[in-house]
């Protein structure tokens, strides 16, 4: 029984090892570069070939200075030799030279099926144009297996299929107040009925340039930082589309200038398909198409008249409060938080102006804010945490001290956030304590009783004359005594 179990286990381990070894040795991947010398009217190529496996994924091919990419082609072959099947699949990137000369293809690394492969690159010499031979006339149209069935194939013809897709820049509002936020979305839309094969091309690089053109001046931006472009189903005018959000941000106008978004273009790879597809041959050809958005203008209007209209925050806000205690003794400290929450430009909210009073000592607040960007809205909180000390006993409403005026754009009117907290303060008044702590002594107490009229020194002339006469008399007597002694 034990021998059978051991034999079975050994067989399974051996089979697994054979499968691993077969997988590791069966797949062969190679990178082939085109000729080092070529004519100006010929293509240079880089070909990635996978044997005995499927070409599941591959990186973008490198750029070559002096060349431009001119589409890709792919091929697949399957052979049966001695009853054993082998397959080969390749993808070729074509490069068209822009001028004659010597060019350097720098060493590069490309990831194929999750594995990295290196190429040392090479020097490419481009000479004058030559007469194109028939087999070089169309790098996409030749069936690599034209003699497979004992016949000669003719170059394939590729046709352009009409696409049902568009690029659009939209805003959730066409008119806003100054300081009011509106959300801008740049997205690519593809209809469910679309038959044209499309693919994004160098999306990150293109979006960097597009955002520079789209972002308006004199606005505060809250960017949604889309990192992964994902498909979302949407319905437009009763027709279903797949939406690919490329960029989204909420803007807050800082002045009365209208916000103008220019038309921007996004280049995609659009494949042409073979008019007469074959089993083994190339059935589609890579091409490019630029989709452009329409211009968009958002009008900006001024706030209604108000003494504080230049400084009030704009948005839909509500007040939240926190306090350490509502029953206090004079001299005891307490913490109070004035929390503004809602939808709007949270960063633009300034601390409330606190009314000054001898009944309390309030110190400058600590400020903390939290901003959440989700579903095309910017929401958050801004917390102003105050430290206070009551000086006088009694009952107090903090609404007499803490208020914030804001403008609600949905209702087009001003509103005020007022504290709802009431305090009860017990104990002795700290007024005398304050006075005694500020007593500077009897010398300073007498200052208030003395006359503060300025007196010129020249007004005391008689006193000065008497003093001078007295000094002269004393000098004369001294001189007389001195002479008598001699």
What integer is the mean pLDDT of 17-35? 63
By percentage, how much of the chain surpasses pLDDT 70?
78
Over the range 281-290, which residues count as b (16 or more CB within 10 Å of their CB) and which as e?
bbbbbbeeee
83 dihedral zone (left: phi>0; alpha: psi -120 to 50; beta)? left
pLDDT band at residue 338, thresholds of 50, 70 and 90? very high
What pLDDT shows up at residue 24? 40
> How distant, in Å, are the alpha carbons of 217, 390, 450 from that of 453?
63, 41, 9
Question: What is the full DSSP assignment across 248-277?
Answer: EEEEEESSSSPEEEPP-EEEEEEEEEESS-
Least Cα distance to 417 among 287, 346, 319 occurs for: 319
Over the range 313-345, which residues count as b (16 or more CB within 10 Å of their CB) and which as e?
bbbebebeeebeeeebebeeebebbbbbbbbbb
> How distant, in Å, are the alpha carbons of 106, 172, 220, 377 from that of 123?
9, 54, 50, 54
| Joined tokens for residue 187 | 């997205």
What pLDDT shows up at residue 231? 86
- Which segment of 133-147, 221-235, 247-261 scores lowest on mean pLDDT? 133-147
Q: How far apart are CA 289 and CA 283, in angstroms?
A: 19
pTM: 0.58
Tens digits of residue pLDDT in 149-195: 444 445 567 777 888 999 999 999 999 999 999 999 999 999 998 88
What pLDDT shows up at residue 486? 60
What integer is the mean pLDDT of 335-348? 95
Query: Taking every pair of C-alpha atoms in the chain, what is the biggest distance, in angstroms?
Result: 161
Q: How far apart are CA 377 and CA 251, in angstroms?
A: 11
What integer is the mean pLDDT of 457-468? 64
Compare 476 and 2 and report the one with higher pLDDT.
Answer: 476
| Joined tokens for residue 409 | 């754009």
How much is the mean pLDDT over the chain? 81
Least Cα distance to 251 among 225, 229, 218 occurs for: 218
Compare 3 and 485 and report the one with higher pLDDT.
Answer: 485
Q: CB–CB of 425/397 below 8 Å?
A: no
What integer is the mean pLDDT of 464-479? 80
Helix (H, G, I), strand (E, B) or coil at 300: strand
What integer is the mean pLDDT of 120-144? 65
Tens digits of residue pLDDT in 203-246: 888 999 999 999 999 999 999 988 788 889 999 999 999 999 99
What pLDDT shows up at residue 15? 46
Compare 295 and 27 and report the one with higher pLDDT.
Answer: 295
Query: How does DSSP classify residue 347?
Result: G
What integer is the mean pLDDT of 399-416? 95
Q: How far apart are CA 355 and CA 105, in angstroms?
A: 72
What integer is the mean pLDDT of 367-378? 90
Helix (H, G, I), strand (E, B) or coil at 466: helix
What pLDDT shows up at residue 160? 79
What integer is the mean pLDDT of 236-260? 94
φ, ψ of residue 331 in degrees (nearest 5): 90, -15
What pLDDT shows up at residue 182? 96
| Joined tokens for residue 403 | 């208020």
φ, ψ of residue 3 in degrees (nearest 5): -65, -40
What pLDDT shows up at residue 378? 92
What pLDDT shows up at residue 184? 96
What pLDDT shows up at residue 152? 46
**pLDDT for 438 beyond 90:** no
**pLDDT for 267 beyond 70:** yes
What pLDDT shows up at residue 266? 94
Q: CB–CB of 131/41 below 8 Å?
A: no
Tens digits of residue pLDDT in 281-328: 567 788 889 999 999 999 999 999 999 999 999 999 999 999 999 999
pLDDT band at residue 450, thresholds of 50, 70 and 90? low
Q: How far apart are CA 105 and CA 339, in angstroms?
A: 60
pLDDT band at residue 17, thresholds of 50, 70 and 90? very low
What integer is the mean pLDDT of 326-334? 93
């Amino acid at each position: 029984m034990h021998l059978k179990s051991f034999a079975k286990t050994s067989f399974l381990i051996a089979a697994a090892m054979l499968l691993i070894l077969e997988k590791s040795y069966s797949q062969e991947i190679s990178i082939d570069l085109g000729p080092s010398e070529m004519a100006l009217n010929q293509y240079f190529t880089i070909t990635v070939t996978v044997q005995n496996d499927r070409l599941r994924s591959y990186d973008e091919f490198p750029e070559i200075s002096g060349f431009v990419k001119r589409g890709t082609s792919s091929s697949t072959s399957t052979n049966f030799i001695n009853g054993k099947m082998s397959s080969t699949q390749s993808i070729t990137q074509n490069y068209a030279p822009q001028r004659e000369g010597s060019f350097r293809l720098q060493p590069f690394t490309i990831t194929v099926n999750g594995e990295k492969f290196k190429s040392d690159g090479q020097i490419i010499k481009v000479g004058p144009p030559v007469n194109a031979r028939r087999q070089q006339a169309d790098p996409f149209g030749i069936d690599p297996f034209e003699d497979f069935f004992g016949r000669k194939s003719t170059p394939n013809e590729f046709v352009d299929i009409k696409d049902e897709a568009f690029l659009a820049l939209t805003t959730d509002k066409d008119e806003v107040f100054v300081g009011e936020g509106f959300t801008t979305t740049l997205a690519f839309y593809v209809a469910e009925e679309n038959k044209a094969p499309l693919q994004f091309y160098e999306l990150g690089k293109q979006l960097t340039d597009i955002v520079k053109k789209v972002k308006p001046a004199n606005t505060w931006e809250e960017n949604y930082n889309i990192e992964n472009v994902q498909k979302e189903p949407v319905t437009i005018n009763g027709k279903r589309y797949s939406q690919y959000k490329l960029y989204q941000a909420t803007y807050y106008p800082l002045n009365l200038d209208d916000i103008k978004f220019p038309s921007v273009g996004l280049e995609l790879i659009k494949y042409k398909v073979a008019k007469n597809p074959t089993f083994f041959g190339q059935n589609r050809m890579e091409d490019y198409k630029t989709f452009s958005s329409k211009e968009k203008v958002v009008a900006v209007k001024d706030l209604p008249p108000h003494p504080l209209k230049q400084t009030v925050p704009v948005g839909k806000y509500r007040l939240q409060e926190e306090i350490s205690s509502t029953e206090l003794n004079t001299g005891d400290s307490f913490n109070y938080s004035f929390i503004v929450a809602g939808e709007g430009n949270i960063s633009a909210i300034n601390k409330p102006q606190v009314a000054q009073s001898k009944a309390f000592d309030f110190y400058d607040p600590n400020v903390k804010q939290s901003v959440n960007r989700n579903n095309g809205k910017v929401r958050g909180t801004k917390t102003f945490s105050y430290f206070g000390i009551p000086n006088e006993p009694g009952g107090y409403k903090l609404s007499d001290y803490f208020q914030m005026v804001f403008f609600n754009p949905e209702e087009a009117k001003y509103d005020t956030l007022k504290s709802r907290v009431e305090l009860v303060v017990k104990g002795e008044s700290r007024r005398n304590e304050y006075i005694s702590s500020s007593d500077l002594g009897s010398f300073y107490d007498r200052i208030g009783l003395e006359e503060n009229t300025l007196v010129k020194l020249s007004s005391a002339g008689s006193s000065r004359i008497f003093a001078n006469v007295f000094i002269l008399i004393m000098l004369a007597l001294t001189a007389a005594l001195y002479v008598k002694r001699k």
